[in-house]
Amino acid sequence: MFKLSIVVPCYNEEEVLHETTKELTRIVTNLIKSDKIAPNSKIVFVDDGSKDQTWNLIDEFSKENEIVSGVKLSRNFGHQGALLAGVTAASKDSDAVVTIDADLQDDVNAIPKMVDSFIAGSEVVYGVRNNRDTDSAFKRNTAEMFYKFMGWLGVKLVPDSADFRLMSKRACEVLLSYKETNLFLRGIVPLVGFKSDKVYYARKERFAGESKYPLRKMIKFALDGITSFSIVPIKMIMGLGFFIVLISIFLLIYTVVQKINGHVVSGWSSMMISIWALGGVQLICISVIGEYVGKIFSEVKHRPRFTIERDIYTEKTLKEEEE
């Protein structure tokens, strides 16, 4: 038997925490009874600077339920930072770590299948959606475009896979050796290597509360993924520059020919269009380059990716070792 820890990042999840704890406790208890995981396996809730009663509930559940523990971050570090904090804490003494969101959209019943795959020898097991029926047409189409675009950029992602996965202790250690501040775990985890597998499941509607990933955050997340793993956009800017130069040369030749033929046309409209078009292209190019410079600025400072205020998981682990 091996010790399993289930890491659950939480940000203002008081509405779903009771049900999430109940469902995950059921899964862990059944796995323990079937002798697939060790009795000291844990559920690790990571409070990512919540402003509601999320941490108080985690603290309360940890006192009532020996399976439940928690990690409280000093402030909001974002979903990816909270995930990494949980993996960092849990992987110290766990043989495998499952990460899953608190909203119960990912099917907890897929966890036993992940465990079976891990026992069979897989070190990374991805939870993959078998459909996108719960998504709007806009989200479904943009997600498909994103995965295709990332593939075109040469970034290896697992399509329709988010942050629901199982990783062995060795895979977690390799993941934690990647020190970048701009985290995009969906792109980093495939770089870890090792034998991998996929478990398919049907994604559900959110149990309660509001999504923590509105359109604005989704766009930012996608941009982080693109600019953290590929310099193709910068190369595209160079191509765009050459293309504009070619158009300029063509227009220059056209203007000279028109002048020779005596067809002089007022150029106010074309001039204004050119100025606005080139100005827009320049701003876009500067913005793309600025995005990369900004990431370099963040990385070179080497600031901590998260700060832990309290670690109930470690407290419980030390207490169990003493007993």
* Model pLDDT for residues 194-230, shown as the tens digit of each residue: 888 988 888 777 555 555 555 565 666 666 656 566 6
* Model pLDDT for residues 56-87, shown as the tens digit of each residue: 999 888 888 888 998 899 888 888 888 888 89
| Strand ranges (E), 74-227 | 96-99, 124-129, 161-168, 196-201
Residues of the chain with pLDDT > 70, as a percent, come to 66
pLDDT of residue 102: 87
Please enumerate in sequence order all residues whose Cβ is within 8 A of that of 48, keeping only pairs 6 or more positions apart, or say none.
Answer: 9, 10, 11, 73, 76, 77, 78, 79, 81, 82
pLDDT of residue 161: 76
The one-letter amino acid code at 287 reads S
Provide the residue ranges of all domains of the chain, joining segments of one domain with +: 4-213+305-322, 232-300
**3-class SS at 36?**
coil
Residue 297 CA to its chain's centroid (Å): 21
pLDDT of residue 254: 67
**3-class SS at 45?**
strand
Domain 4-213+305-322, second-level architecture: Alpha-Beta Complex (3.90)
Residues of the chain with pLDDT > 90, as a percent, come to 14
* Mean pLDDT of the region 287-295: 73
pLDDT of residue 117: 92
Q: Is-contact 10 50, C-beta < 8 A?
A: yes
